Every structure is written in C-alpha cells, then in structure tokens.
A and B are shown apart, each in its own frame.
Chain A
Amino acid sequence: MQYALMIYSESSYLEGLPDDEREAAHADYRALAEDDRFVSAAQLEPAETATCVRLAGGRTLMTDGPFADTKEVLGGFCLIEAADLDEAAELAARIPAVRLGGTVEIRPLAQP
C-alpha cells in the first residue's frame, strides 16, 4: 500500500536548533530518502507564503494564509510504500519532526 506521511510542525522548528542537531535532522531525512520503501517527498515553503482559494458568490476568492489557523502547519510530506499501517508508522516515527515535537499524519492513498 502507498501512504502519505504529512508532516505538521511549528514552521521554524529547524531554525531554532543548534547546528549539530539541525545537521542530524537533515541526515535523518536523507537516510529516509534512501530507504527502499521511500517513493517521493517534498518540503513546503513556510505557511506565510500560503494562499487559499474558494468560490464565493460565483467568483473565486483568494485569501492570504493557510486554511487552518493553528500553530502546527503542514511543512512537507513523504510518499512511501509499506506493507501495512504498522510499517508506515515505523517509518513515520523516523521523521525528525516527530522527535522535535511535531506530528505526522498517516493517510493511505486511495486505491484507483
């Protein structure tokens, strides 16, 4: 099965770290990218760059900012291939954001 691992954290969590810890976090991300079960990943620009679009009275309406106004924002995501939820959760727990106070939401990709 394919799963999306969506990484929620405070946007500046990597910047606030001492150099060696930040380097360790980057190394963990690289190690994850080399795992056989890794499919792809993307890191997002900070939530201040976000724009929401919706339809209001027949016109598209753009607003500044992310959809939900919470401290933890979507900062990136991974796609992985795993046998089951336990395996996906083990990979998710290796994402550095988890040990640095963030949350990873695991969602199975809809089967075509």
Chain B
Amino acid sequence: MLEEAFRDEWGRVVASLVGFLGDFDRAEDAAQEAFAVAARTWPRTGPPDSPGAWLVTTARNRAIDRLRRERALAGKMHLLAEPEATVDEADDTLIKDERLELIFTCCHPALPLEGQVALTLRALGGLNTAEIARAFLVSEETMKRRLTRAKTKIRAAGIPFTVPGAHLLPERLDAVLAVLYLIYNEGYSGRVDLGAEAIRLGRVLAALLPDEPETYGLLALMLIHHARRRARFAGERGEDLVLLDDQDRSLWDLDRIAEGRAVLDRAIALGGRGAYVVQAAIASLQAHERVDWPQVAELYRRLAALTGSAVVELNRAVALAQAGDPAGALCAVDRLDLDGYLYFHSTRGELLRRLGRDGEARAAYRRALDLAVSTPEQRFLTRRLEQL
C-alpha cells in the first residue's frame, strides 16, 4: 500500500510543495518527511481516506515547522501567516494538482537536457538519485551534481513554475515529450525499467492535457513498443536481438497493444498528424499478425517529410523491401549519407543478401560489425555473417 501510494502520490506532493515553497530542495525534504511519517503511522492506523491530501498537508505542516525552527524568515514570512491545516480534514479535492506546472519547470529549455531528464525522474517520478545514476550509467556523485545544478539554475535564473501560455505551449510541450521519449528509450536498453516509468509519466501528462494529440501519440507509441519488449530479446540473459519477423508473438502483451491502439485512435480523432502520432501508427501496423508493409512504407514517407531524417528514410527502405521490392529499397538506401551508422550497413547487407549478391552482403555486414558496440548487436551480426 505504502509503496503504491509513494509511486502515485510523490509527484503530486512535490508539485504542491514546490508551488507552496518555491524551492525544490525544501519541497523534497518536506515530502520525504511526510512519507516517513506515513510509513510509521499508516500500518497502525490504516491509510487515511485521502492519502494524497494527507501527505501534502503533513508535508506542508512539516515545512512550516522547519521554517519556524530555522528562523530562516527572510522573505518567507508570508508562509508563516498560513494557518496550519488539520491533517484529518485533508481532502484530495481541496488540494490543487500542480504536476503540470512541475513538468514544465523540470523540462524548461533553459536547463541542459540531461538535467531536465534527471529532474523529471526525481521530482515527478520519485526515483532516487542512485536509481537515476544507475539508469544513465554515471556515478551517484555525478548525478547528484547534475540535479543540484538544475535546481540551482531554476532558483537563480527565475525559471517559472507555471504552465506556459498558449503562444508558448506547443514548443514547450515538444520539449516535455522529447524528455519522456528519451526516458523511454533509455529504458529500452533494459538497465532499469524506465520504460514503465515513462509510460506512467505519459499517462499523467495525457490526463492533465486532455486536448493535445501528440501527447496521446507518444503514449500510444510507448505502450505498443513496450508490449513487445519481451519478444525483442532472447537468450538466457536477453543477449540476443530478435527481428520483428522472428519474434515469438505469444510474448506480446496484447492488452497493452489494444490499449495503445485506443490511445492512438484518440490522438487521430483530435486531429493529430505529428511525428509521434505517425510513429505510433507505424508501431500499430507492425503489431498485426500480417503487416501491411506498403502502408508502413507510406507512413515512413510521411514521417520523413515531417522530420527530414535520413534514418527514417532508411526505415522506409526496409518497409519497401518487406513489401516485396528489395531492389527499389537498395536504390533508396544507396542514396543516403549514413556511412557511420551501423543499421545503414546491416540493412544494405540484408538487401544485398536477398538480391543474391553475397560477396557485397558480407562486406556490408563486416562494416556493420566494426561499428557495433553492444553484445546483442555483435552476436546478431556475427550470426548473419556465418549464415552467408
């Protein structure tokens, strides 16, 4: 129960306290104290009717106490005029949800991207510094500095705790979605289950901004990808990469795919035609028993027009080959300037193999193997070379 409340309520409690105190460190300290009190008393008394409101009220009271004790009154006198609220009467409907303000503060473009990511996971996700450090393969000390630097800049540079106005919203929302997608993709590498965390944050964002199609697009994309994660790797320690064609579909989470498709429908109904919506539509098509590859290629064409990305063009070529035109696909691939990119060479290798040009295929796979850094990639390419 407590663990559950922690995951669900941490972001709300911190958001409310940052809004109240205007200070991240004090907000986190007070939230931590309130959760500690809950851990001591709830097992005895049972959880309160409104756990969130109880935690926010307790944390506020602790913060006020602490301000009194420290007599750090300069500039914070007005907070002490606030009457101390009674915990027993705390009701969730009386506590304003300020998580949206918190998300936009954490993902403010004036912060370095790595700081945005870390702070979002800490303040909204409730991950501790050690967990975030492990996910991003840096020392705890480095991650602590990164978080401190971001919090210091928010305070010193006057980064606001607000939901941006209509003229700024599209651009700022893009920044938030980019942070969530980055968190999701870190999770894809499998060190910490950041994928589930990104999905949780995506749900929160979609609930708070129910009219924004791209938010649903990203949520749908993450849900459908996540549903296939167990089929993407094989071997005892997940050391082998499995291509879509060879995936064991019984490992797919069909409920989650259905949920992703429903979210995608909502994005499209809201008029969403942006990059996340298109990517979610592609993922949805690829999660069918029989994939409509010409349609996938068409969606990649649209995505390439939106992003101008050569990697997307490469994916379009793969879809063309799957649709039965490997020669056309190879033509498209050879026009791309992606020499330093592993998947450019592995795709060429695969297309050349299908066209019966084994010698050239071998050379392309070798070039790809030179560029491979992860073990699953290396093992996959070595197997391909052996099969030629």
Contact residues in B for A108 (Cβ distance below 8 Å): 156-158
Q: Mark B150-165, 1 if CB is under 8 A from A, else 0.
A: 0000001111101010
Q: Does any Cβ of B come within 8 Å of A86's Cβ?
A: yes
Contact residues in A for B168 (Cβ distance below 8 Å): 86
Q: Mark A14-37, 1 if CB is under 8 A from B, else 0.
A: 000000000000000000000000
| Contact among A1, A86, A88 for B164, CB-based, below 8 A | A86
Q: How far is the CA of A85 from the CA of B164 in the complex (A)?
A: 12
Q: Mark A73-94, 1 if CB is under 8 A from B, else 0.
A: 0000000001111101100000
Contact residues in A for B159 (Cβ distance below 8 Å): 84-86
Contact residues in A for B108 (Cβ distance below 8 Å): 85
Distance (Å) between the CB of A104 and the closest chain B CB?
13
Residue of B nearest to A89 (CB): B110
Distance (Å) between the CB of A10 and the closest chain B CB?
25
Distance (Å) between the CB of B178 and the closest chain A CB?
18
Interface size on A, residues (CB 8 A): 11
Interface of A is mostly: mixed
Distance (Å) between the CB of A7 and the closest chain B CB?
18
Distance (Å) between the CB of A94 and the closest chain B CB?
14
Contact residues in A for B157 (Cβ distance below 8 Å): 85, 106, 108
Which of A1, A3, A85, A108 has most chain B Cβ within 10 Å?
A85
**B156 pairs with A86, CB closer than 8 A:** no
Distance (Å) between the CB of A55 and the closest chain B CB?
29
Interface of B is mostly: loop
Contact residues in B for A86 (Cβ distance below 8 Å): 159-160, 162, 164, 168
Q: How far is the CA of A85 from the CA of B28 in the complex (A)?
A: 23
Distance (Å) between the CB of A85 and the closest chain B CB?
5
Distance (Å) between the CB of B107 and the closest chain A CB?
13
Contact residues in B for A106 (Cβ distance below 8 Å): 157
Q: Mark B125-167, 1 if CB is under 8 A from A, else 0.
A: 0000000000000000000000000000000111110101000
Distance (Å) between the CB of B382 and the closest chain A CB?
48
Q: How far is the CA of A84 from the CA of B168 in the complex (A)?
A: 14
Q: How far is the CA of A83 from the CA of B158 in the complex (A)?
A: 8
Enumerate chain B interface residues (CB-CB to A < 8 A): 108, 110, 156-160, 162, 164, 168
Enumerate chain A interface residues (CB-CB to B < 8 A): 1, 3, 82-86, 88-89, 106, 108
15 A-B residue pairings within 8 Å (CB atoms) = A1-B158, A83-B158, A84-B159, A85-B110, A85-B157, A85-B159, A86-B159, A86-B160, A86-B162, A86-B164, A88-B158, A89-B110, A106-B157, A108-B156, A108-B158
In the A-B complex, the 7 residue pairs with the smallest Cβ-Cβ separation, listed nearest first, are A84-B160, A84-B158, A85-B158, A1-B158, A85-B159, A85-B157, A86-B160
Beyond the given pairs A84-B158, A84-B159, A85-B158, 19 more chain A to chain B contacts, judged by CB atoms under 8 angstroms and listed by A's residue number, are A1-B158, A3-B158, A82-B158, A83-B160, A84-B162, A85-B108, A85-B110, A85-B157, A85-B159, A85-B160, A86-B159, A86-B160, A86-B162, A86-B164, A88-B158, A89-B110, A106-B157, A108-B157, A108-B158
